[in-house]
Amino acid sequence: MMFQENAEVLHNECIGADYYKIGLKCVSDYSIAKPGQFLMVKIADAPLLRRPFSIHRLLALKGKQQGLELLYKVVGTGTKKLSSYNAGDSLDLLGPLGNGFDIPENMKGVFIVGGGVGIAPLFFLASFLKDKGRDLSAFRVFIGCRSDDDLLCRGDFLELGMSVQFTTDDGSSGEKGLITEPLERAILQQKPDMVYACGPTPMLRETARIAEKHAIACQISIETMMACGMGACLGCVVHSKAHPDTYFHVCKDGPVFDAKDIRF
Ligand SMILES: Cc1cc2nc3c(=O)[nH]c(=O)nc-3n(C[C@H](O)[C@H](O)[C@H](O)COP(=O)(O)OP(=O)(O)OC[C@H]3O[C@@H](n4cnc5c(N)ncnc54)[C@H](O)[C@@H]3O)c2cc1C
Ligand code: FES
C-alpha cells in the first residue's frame, strides 16, 4: 500500500552540523511501513520532482500512530530548502516505497552497521525490533562517521538498550579508523546471525565482503541518486553480481538487497 498526502510539519530541528530531524503529522497509517522503506518527498521550489528519504522513526501519541520522522543531511538545493520548513508548513509525501529489510524470526545475534546519515533507517529497524518484543541484548550497533560532529543516534540506540561502538575517520571521538575494523573483530569473537548495513558504497562493499568471508547473512540498504523513484529511468541502477550484464533498480527492486546479489 502506498499513500500520498500533504503532511503537517511538527518540528524541523537542527541536531548539529548539517543534520536535521523533521517530524511529520500524517493522516495515512504509516504503521504498515517496514524498516528500510523510504518516502519520495516533494520539496517546494526545489528543481526536479521528489527526493528520497528513509523513514527514521514512527511517531506515536498515546500509543496511536501519528506520523513519522526523517533524519536528513543538508547536501544540496533540495535538502537546504527542506531545512527552512517550519512547524505548521505542509510537505507532500509519497510512500512507503521499496521493499524494506527482511527480518527472520529466529535471529539472536544481530549486528547493525551504519555510515554517516545511513544510520537513519537503521534506527527504525532497531526500534521496530524492540516494539516486536525481540530481545536486543545480543544486538550490537556499529557507527562509522567522519568526525565527532557526524556521530548520529548513539544516544537513541543506547536508550533501546543496545551496545554501540563507533569510529571516526579523524579520531576526534571513539576509535580512529573505519567501522568495518571493529565489526570484523566483533564477528571473530561472536558470529551474529545477521548483519544489516546502510551507508556509503565503500563501507557497504567492505561489510558485504566481511559477511561473505564469515558466511553471515547480510542485507544492505543502498542510497543511490534517484530521478523518478518508480523504475522509469536508469538513475538508480546497481549491477547484479551473478549476472553482470543485468541490473537492479534501487527504487523498485530495493533499496534493501541481499549483499551477495550486488556487484560493487
Ligand atoms: C532510498 C534512499 C534513502 C535515502 N535516505 C536518506 C535519509 O534518510 N537521509 C538523508 O539525508 N539522505 C537520504 N538519501 C539521500 C537523499 O535522497 C539525498 O541526499 C537528497 O536527494 C539530496 O537532495 P539535494 O537536492 O539536497 O541534493 P542535490 O542538489 O540533488 O545534490 C547535491 C549533492 O549531493 C549528491 N547527492 C544527491 N543525492 C544523493 C544520494 N542519493 N546519495 C549520495 N549523494 C547524493 C549529489 O551528487 C551532489 O553532489 C536517501 C537516498 C535514497 C536513494
Ligand atoms: S529512480 Fe528512476 S528508475 Fe529508479
42-88 pLDDT per residue, tens: 998 877 779 999 999 999 877 777 899 999 999 999 999 999 999 99
- Give yes or no: residues 61 and 153 share one domain: no
Domain that holds residue 8: 3-97
137 and 56 in a single domain? The answer is no
Burial class (CB in 10 A: 0-12, 13-18, 19+), 141: buried
Does 32 share its domain with 137?
no
Domain boundary, last residue among 97, 127, 154:
97
178's enclosing H/E stretch is none
Decide if 42 is inside a domain: yes
List ligand 1's pocket residues with C-beta within 6 A.
38, 46, 51-54, 70-73, 75-79, 117, 120, 223-226, 255
% residues pLDDT > 70 (the chain): 99
Q: Determine which residue's CA is closest to atom 35 belonging to ligand 1.
A: 75
Report the C-alpha gap between 29 and 66 in whole angstroms: 8
pLDDT digits (tens, 9 = 90+) for 171-205: 999 999 999 999 999 999 999 999 999 999 999 99
Strand 3-14, strand 19-25: pairing: antiparallel
Looking at 69, 97, 125, the residue that finishes a domain is 97
Distance (angstroms) between ligand 1 centre and the Cα of 62 equals 33
Overall domain count for the chain: 2
Q: 99: alpha, beta or left, given left = phi > 0 and alpha = psi -120 to 50? A: alpha
| Domain presence at residue 34 | yes
